[in-house]
Structure 1
Amino acid sequence: MSRTHRTRRAILKLALAGTALTLTMSSALAQAVSIDFWDMIWGGPDYPVAAQALVDRYNAEHPDVKVVYRSVPWTNWYETFVTAIASGSAPDLSTGAGFQAVQLYDQGAILPIDELVAQLDPNDFVPGALDALRYDGHYVALPWAIDTRVLFYRKDLLETAGVAVPTTWQEFREAAKKLTGDGKYGLVSAGDPIGLHWVLAMAINNGGGLFDASGKPALTGERTTEAVQFLADLVADGSLNPASAGYVNDDSNGSFFRGEAAFLLQGPLLPEQAGDAKPQIGIVPPLKGPHGDVGTISWINNVMVYNQTEHPKETMAFLKWWSENALPLWTDGHVGNLPARASIAADDFFQSNPNVKFIMDSYVPVAKPMSAAVGGTFPELSEIEGDGFLLSLTQSIWQGQPIGENLAAAQAHLEELMGQ
């Protein structure tokens, strides 16, 4: 009887211990913080797979937090976010369009990340990247990738024609003119946003831009007007493929890859997309403008935190980790931009690629955002980028129209958008 009693007592203890363990585990699971991370698709099909794997790694290393990853397509991206904000179902953090953070911050939907930035080494970011995300005295997002515009050339076309790689605007114009003929053109572009990047890149290259140092619209300023006129002169020379105004990005890329044009302005990783044409693609060093200026346009892609988050501490901690451990997004996910952090850019994955290293060493340091002379960021930049008036200006240039009235109209529209 005593043995039976002891056995029953032992079984009861085991049962109670099991119940306690179950309750403890359930309590721990109930207390786990859940964070929603929405991420745009920054590459091909490999990208969301690599990003999910990175999130899985964080979750494994931080069992008290569960980050839920959602890949967001670019189609109707703006509606996706504003609808979520309006319905109270915004994510805790997300990537997004270059000026999404400041636009939504101005609407009261984004948390500043000043305390997080204070924990980071500012020297580990590309010069100007953090400042490009500063608005109203606050950092509205954390930079993670740099998208800049680079001038590429066809080695075979220049070698066959005996043309040296240009280093100045004048040399570029002469080279483009000489390389035009027999069904080939000095340069090709497009009538979509990749085309208008010529206007932004050349304006900044000449010490101009959309604004002056005080923040006033300056499309008709001396330096910007000079840059637009230079583009018009290329067209007048016959150096631009006349189909450019009707081309989209894939058309202009394809023409360049087929060797139908000698020069193309594109994103930094264009050679990686060129297939068999990759060995024939070279990089023109940043051109010197007529006043000795160098420069190009860049966009600082970033990660933002939403004020609807119920877990700001844990969200900021994940953002810090994500920023510091983002290398697999490139090595496995094949991101089309360059890293914003020097510690990631120092990896052999980038340093062993001569094209990428050259761009990081020569283009990135002289690149400036759309705010250029005035610096920082502001909500109107999102509307300026998406409005279409700069695209109309670019198409008029590619069509050979005189720049005077079209540039004045663009200036007037920019002043309207800026409320001036």
Structure 2
Amino acid sequence: MIAKKLGVFSAVGLVLVLLLAWAGPALAAEAKVVNVWHTETNAASRKAIDNIIKRFEAKHPGIKVKAEALAWGDLEGKIMASMAAGSPPELSHGQPITCAALQAKGVLLPLDEVVAAIGENNLWDQIKKVGKFGKHYYGLVHAAGTSLLIYRKDLAQKKGLKNPKTWNDLLKAAKALTMDTNGDGKIDIYGVTIPGDNLFINILMGELIAANGGKLFDEKNRPQFTKTQMIQALNFLKELTKYMPPGWEGHGYRETFANMYGGKAAMMFQGYGRGASLIEQYAPKGWASTDYYDVWIKPHGPSGAKPAAQVDEETWMLFKGSKHPKEAIEFLKFFYKDPEYLEYIQSVPIHFFPITKSLRKNPAYLNTPMVKRWKGWLDVQQYYLEKDLAKPTLIIEWSDMNNKPYLMEILGSGILKDMVMEVTKEGVPAEKAAAKAQKRAEELLKMKGYLK
């Protein structure tokens, strides 16, 4: 009987051993999965993120990171749908105004632990202001890239043009750089180009109002579209469009940059460091340098005293209701360590301005070939950041980050773009177009409960 029982126990033990052996891979496959959504769809950045993930997973065998690159047009909708379904990702990029709106709704978790690991004093002051709400960080910028006024240096030198200080100076430069180069009576090079899509028009209007000493909304959330600063900005744009390529209003960012490197435009008002890579790819042979494509500090308006720039700095956001927020925090800590972060920054080195002072001073970063070639572009970006002249889309004052959670809805409404197009393309007087936009914005904010 004892032998029989021992035989049974041995058989059971063997079965258990076999079950454990079979289940081992399955159990290992059940690692904690951290879902990461980001907006860097270019191949170099995707590869850098994949490499960082591989090294992270090697050091954290119980964690798997699943990264997904999403176009901007898809990201916002996917975030909202995931929250509605109760299954948000652990981490996602989002515009600062998106971060502000979601933080106001109480759906984000703080990233203070990540900031502490980086060292708060190691962050640029501008970066701190973007994601900090009250005493906590609910957003942390992945990298910063300010807008740039890019110009054809060779043509400007031939015309004897200097950095325009005012909007009027810029109009004069645009006129001088609009040229018929072969004498056939047709314009070959236009003075300036800008993207005409909704996002970039919103970026542009935020910049212009800031550079003209104005506001988009007052402390009571009332639109300020009919104020002098807005009327001046609209009339400035109306004049500036005289020197833009036909069809500019339908051009996206890539098409606008094609105007620059293709020799069709001499200035690009809404340029970014990412464009240096496009210039190196597509500009005529021997032209891919700051001898031909350089940057000026942006001018200010008649009611302003200093320039303003927009900064492209999506924040990482950590979502309540996600399955593995602690593991997501560990991933972000790893992501911002200099060896890892350096690879990410080097994937788009002129647009990805590092958020850490330590990496900006790191010889490995400074010796990046592209950083050396386009140093002046980075110096201007640092000037904007250090002087507190660069702010996120539609943010005029830093208090707007906390007090105006409706800015994402204003951007999505198309109100500002419609106003600009009415003035520049349809010939509607600035005052009339502004009054119409004012009414539409007031109605939207009343409907959303932000304006009484």
CA distance in 2, matches of 1:191, 1:153: 19
In 2 relative to 1, CA 214–82 (structure 1 residues): closer, same or farther, beyond 3 Å? Answer: closer
Corresponding residue of 2:357 = 342
Which AA in structure 1 matches 2:206? L
Structure 1 residues 323 and 401, CA gap change in structure 2 (3 angstroms): farther
CA distance 1:415–1:344, shift in 2 (3 Å)? farther
Residue among 388, 400, 403 paired with 1:375: 400
Task: Provide the C-alpha distance between the structure 1 equivalents of 2:352 and 2:440, rounded to a whole number of angstroms.
Answer: 30
Does structure 2 retain, via aligned residues, the 8 Å contact 1:148–1:367? Answer: yes
1:283-312 per-residue CA deviation (whole Å, 9 max, x = no partner) reads: 012324434222122243111111113333
Measure the CA separation in 2 of the matches of 1:80 and 1:339: 27
Shift of 1:82: 2.5
Q: Within 5 A, what are the aligned runs for 1:48-127?
A: 48-118=46-116, 120-127=118-125
Query: SS at 1:130's partner residue?
Result: helix
Aligned match of 1:8: none
Segment drifting more, 214-223 vs 267-276:
214-223
Counterpart mapping for 1:223-234 below 5 A:
223-234=229-240
Instruction: Note if 1:402 corresponds to 2:429.
Output: yes
1:392 to 418, 422, 438: 418
Count of matched residue pairs: 404
Partner of 1:7: none
Q: State yes or no: 1:211 paired with 2:217.
A: yes
Matches within 5 A, 1:186-197: 186-192=191-197, 193-197=199-203
1:131 to 129, 132, 152: 129
Cα distance in 1 between the residues matched to 2:240 and 2:348: 38
Greater shift after overlay, 367-376 or 213-222? Answer: 213-222
2:208 maps to which of 202, 224, 227: 202
Single out whichever of 201-210 and 324-333 deviates more from structure 2.
Answer: 324-333
Q: TM-score, normalised by structure 2?
A: 0.78
Report the secondary structure of 1:259's partner residue: coil
- Does the 8 Å contact 2:164/2:298 carry over to 1? no
Is the alpha carbon distance of 1:90 and 1:411 closer, same or farther for their aligned partners in structure 2, counting shifts above 3 Å? same
Letter of the 1:340 counterpart? I
Q: Give the direction of change, closer, same or farther, for the CA distance of 1:340–1:386 in structure 2 (3 Å limit).
A: farther
1:138 deviates by 4.3
Q: Which residue in the other structure is 1:267 paired with?
A: 272
- Quote the sequence identity (%): 25
Task: Quote the Cα distance in structure 2 between the aligned partners of 1:75 and 1:163.
Answer: 39
Is 1:49–1:333's contact at 8 Å kept on the other side of the alignment? Answer: no
User: In structure 2, how many angstroms separate the alpha carbons of the residues matched to 1:147 and 1:244?
Assistant: 23
Alpha-carbon distance between aligned partners in 2 of 1:415 and 1:67, rounded to the nearest angstrom = 43
Distance in 1 between residues matched to 2:204 and 2:80, nearest whole Å: 31
Alpha-carbon spacing, 1:60–1:127, altered in 2? closer, same or farther (3 Å): same
- Give the corresponding residue for 1:5: none
Report if aligned partners of 1:47, 1:334 keep a CA contact under 8 Å in 2. Answer: no
Residue 264 of structure 1: how far off its partner (Å): 0.7
TM-score computed with the length of structure 1 as normaliser:
0.83
Find the aligned partners of 1:331 and 1:175 in 2 and give their Cα distance: 34
Give, in whole Å, the separation in 1 of the partners of 2:250 and 2:325. 47
1:39-95 CA-partner distances (Å, limit 9, x unpaired): 224142222222111111111122343323333344532332233223333222222
1:358 counterpart = 2:379: yes
User: Gaps spanning 5+ residues in structure 1: where?
Assistant: 1-11
Q: 1:172: how far off?
A: 1.5
Selected match of 1:297 from 282, 288, 310: 310
Q: CA deviation at 1:211?
A: 2.9
The letter for the 2-side match of 1:258 is: G
* Mapped contact 2:148–2:295 kept (Cα < 8 A): yes
Distance 1:413 1:342, change over 3 A: farther
Tell me the SS of whatever aligns to 2:68. Answer: strand
SS of match in other structure, 2:341:
coil
Which residue identity lines up with residue 254 of structure 2 in the other structure? D
Shift of 1:118: 4.9
| Change over 3 Å in CA distance of 1:416–1:328 after alignment to 2 | farther
User: Root-mean-square deviation (CA), in Å?
Assistant: 3.3
Counterparts of 2:221 and 2:353, CA distance in 1: 28
Q: Secondary structure at the match of 2:330?
A: helix
User: Which consecutive residues of structure 2, in runs of 5 or more, have no partner in the other structure?
Assistant: 1-9, 181-186
Which of 443, 447, 450 is residue 416 of structure 1 equivalent to? 443
